Amino acid sequence: MATLVCFHAHPDDEAIATGGTMAKAAADGHRVVLVTATRGEHGEVPDGFLDPGEELWQRREQEVAEACKALGVARYEFLGYVDSGMIGVPENDAPGSFWQADVDEAARRLADILEEEQADVLTVYDDTGGYGHPDHIQVHRVGVKAGELAGTPKVYEATLDNDYIKGLWAMADELGLPMPDDVGEAEDFTMGKPAHLITTRVDVTGFLDQKRQAMAAHASQISETSFFLSMPPPAFALVWGLEAYILRGAAPGTAETTLFEGMA
């Protein structure tokens, strides 16, 4: 069996981006390790959600622990940086923020875990971080470097199939999927990568219950009434049933259905 390490920016990112893949890998007997760069200190939280004196990072530590149980994660670690907030906010420049981290130093921290785990597979994000969040972009930079330092055999960029999502957008009314007011039009959707760049599509429809449980565990960030969790089951399956990746260094025409191609 192989070891999969998933590197993410904040607690809850793992559930959204790679949760199905993680749950499937664990069910197939692979060792699954989660590393998050930060504890999500600057996420948004509803007034009155936290207990008196409780800090958001404390709640998010609890939430990721519950999510890991749902996904079958054997080990989870924090890389030790502070959430940088969204682009253009003062937190971007704060000492200790992940956005300000020295890439080589941060990569060495992650590489130490990769080497300790003898990781076979590492997931990071694509070069845009999916949607331009500073910490997500830094996950790409740090993760790619760490994979090189550790000699990790396969490094995947978790992404979205932009063309697939746009296709679903056109079916939104039929799916009973009301789109949020602030998402704009399908032609303006820029998250992810075009379909022809996707090398690996993992069918996780058999693990959507675990993915949904992991999302729901992050209640400070993903409420039951959120767009993600309020989808009817058929829509949830269409949106989240395939998780898309780009295998770094893949030969032209690569079309995989697993991150463990060629591994026992």
pLDDT, mean of residues 34-47: 95
The pLDDT value recorded for residue 156 is 98
Stated as kind and residue range, the H or E segment containing 147 is: helix 134-150
Q: Is the pTM of this model over 0.75?
A: yes
Task: Give the integer Cα–Cα distance in Å for 193 and 128.
Answer: 9
Reply yes or no on whether the pLDDT at 53 is more than 90: yes
pLDDT confidence bin for 60, thresholds 50/70/90: very high
pLDDT confidence bin for 180, thresholds 50/70/90: low
Per residue in 198-220, pLDDT (tens digit) is 999 999 999 999 999 999 999 99
Lowest model confidence (mean pLDDT) among 13-22, 120-129, 227-236, 239-248? 227-236
The pLDDT value recorded for residue 182 is 53
Reply yes or no on whether the pLDDT at 178 is more than 70: no
Q: Where are the domains of the chain?
A: 3-247
Per residue in 234-260, pLDDT (tens digit) is 888 988 999 999 999 999 999 999 999
User: CB–CB of 158/204 below 8 Å?
Assistant: no
pLDDT confidence bin for 136, thresholds 50/70/90: very high
Those residues whose C-beta lies under 8 Å from the C-beta of residue 238, and which sit 6 or more positions away, are 168, 171, 175
pLDDT, mean of residues 84-99: 87
Provide the CATH topology of domain 3-247.
Rossmann fold (3.40.50)
Reply yes or no on whether the pLDDT at 51 is more than 80: yes
The pLDDT value recorded for residue 173 is 62
pLDDT confidence bin for 185, thresholds 50/70/90: low
Task: Give the integer Cα–Cα distance in Å for 123 and 144.
Answer: 9
Closest CA to 46 of 230, 236, 226: 226
Percent of the chain with pLDDT over 90: 76
pLDDT confidence bin for 186, thresholds 50/70/90: low
Reply yes or no on whether the pLDDT at 59 is more than 90: yes
The pLDDT value recorded for residue 40 is 96
